[in-house]
Structure 1
Amino acid sequence: MAQITVHETELSLSNPTLVEGLPGVGLVGKITADHLIETFEMTHYATCHCKGLPEVAIYHENDPEITGAVRLYADPEHELLVLQSDVPVSPNAAEEFAGCLTGWIRDQDALPIYLSGRSTDPDDERATYGVATGEAGEILSAHDIAPPDERGAISGPTGALLYEAHRQDLDALGLIVEASARFPDPAAATSLIETAIAPITGLTVETDSLLDRAEEIRATRQQLAQRMQQAQEESSKAEPVGMYQ
């Protein structure tokens, strides 16, 4: 049965912002989500049991408790929700997952921010672009976040989530950052936070540790990155499609 199970029913949220952190190009969503959860010491708020998600049990360091693979964390003080996933979401499950999660987001009256990496061979600069559904384009304009500079497509579960928001006329933001296609990219996640997520949410997010721990983060995320490369169709990514494709 498709559902989101809330564990911390006493937590109260009002018009929160939801940041999605599914694995994708450069693992930018995963790295960003993990960093936000750690920085704000967020509470494990809910678990996704949407049809098609991997049925795996996740264990955590120094903790005997088992959790699901796709979880939601909450910080009521900052009106923040973060979606964290320890596994790729199969393209076969993307449509079902998008419908399941989008319905819940609408019920929470939340503004979702969906994250995607655009494969590049980045130097020190990683450009960030924004797309929107509903009336959320005004938010991008207010924060001088430019639209993409070429025609393209966002695939994988993140693309499905954005398309479902479009279908339901739900306000949603999609942030696209240039990122390494071969390695976990903490620098891209840092750029995403500093140039878009922090301004949009009004949060002050420390990012120095992301760069200071870049090698550690790459090493700990490398196994997941390799799994993503082996099954690229499961990855959320933004890519150019060309004028006539």
Structure 2
Amino acid sequence: MVKIIERVIKKVEPLKDAVLIEGLPGIGHVGRIAAEHLIQEFQGEKVLELYCYDFPPQVLVNEDGTIESMNNEIYIIREPIPMIVVTGNTQALSPIGQYQLSERLVEIGIKYGARITYTLGGFGIGRIKEDPLVYVAATSKELAERIKAHGALFRADGGGIVGAAGLMLTFSKLMGIEGACLMGETPGYLIDPKSARKVLEVLAKVLNIEIDMGELEKRAREMEAFLERIRRFEKQLEQGHLMIREKDKRQREEDLRYIG
């Protein structure tokens, strides 16, 4: 068994008919960005921290010289609808850690009043898309079809969902509540606020709530500007290499004139 330490930040009464939302680090950090945006926009209140002996054996160092421990955090949101949001700076490292922590997160969600689970994540495609698609996988065909009606797609190739985003669906089903995973297309090698926004757009329709996407749109524009600078730099490098190759070619041709 993997040891999990739970630190209660604030004692609260269970919410009524709440939605459990998971957004931990993963492909493109799509889920984490989306979860943190919900917490920021709806003034989420931290109620619990989890420390697991299967988290990476390290701490992060902040710019002000303080440390940030590896943990998962539970926030509650009361309006516009009751939500329990799971986020954090890491996932468990081993299969047993993933299983045990995912099970515990669902147990905690249900204790706080969750009646359905939505996990959020990225679907790596290895390239940048102007308009990322969102895919859904659910614990029942009925739920999957309901979410599909709001703009999500089914993955034609099937595939798998690794980590908490997948395992929390399994444990939700075992504990008697439904669940679904929303996955936004992402290159996989970049932090992707654009994909997070697309995932939240679908989630907002499913939950029938409004989410201000202004901050995510700003981050997406900043990312686009960063990528454009990279593209220009790569083009300059390519042009420089072409000039060097052309210069070398002319030099070799000139050298040949002196032979014989």
Same fold (TM over 0.5): yes
Which residue among 109, 119, 128 is the counterpart of 1:122? 128
C-alpha distance in structure 1 between counterparts of 2:12 and 2:176, whole Å: 30
- Structure-to-structure mapping, 1:77-226, within 5 angstroms: 77=79, 78-92=81-95, 93-110=97-114, 111-120=116-125, 121-134=127-140, 136-137=143-144, 139-141=146-148, 143-194=150-201, 196-214=202-220
Q: Which residue is 2:28 aligned to?
A: 26
Give unmatched runs, 5+ long, in structure 2: 225-260
How many corresponding residue pairs?
A: 218
Q: Which has the higher Rg, Structure 1 or Structure 2?
A: 2
What CA deviation, in whole Å up to 9, does each residue of 1:8-37 have, x standing for no partner?
224551111122111111110111111111
TM-score, length of structure 2 as denominator length: 0.71
Change in Cα spacing, 1:140 to 1:123, as seen in structure 2 (3 Å) is: same
Instruction: Check the 8 A contact 1:11/1:76 in 2, yes or no.
Output: no
Q: Which amino acid aligns with 1:107?
A: K
Q: Which amino acid aligns with 1:38?
A: Q
Q: Report whether the alignment pairs 1:35 with 2:37.
A: yes
C-alpha distance in structure 2 between counterparts of 1:80 and 1:161, whole Å: 16
The Cα of 1:216 is off from its aligned counterpart by: 5.7
The Cα of 1:151 is off from its aligned counterpart by: 1.5
Give unmatched runs, 5+ long, in structure 1: 219-245
Q: CA RMSD in A?
A: 3.1
The Cα of 1:102 is off from its aligned counterpart by: 1.9
Higher relative CO (Cα under 8 Å, sequence separation at least 6) belongs to 1
Change in Cα spacing, 1:66 to 1:125, as seen in structure 2 (3 Å) is: closer
C-alpha distance in structure 2 between counterparts of 1:46 and 1:71, whole Å: 6
Instruction: Check the 8 A contact 2:14/2:111 in 1, yes or no.
Output: no
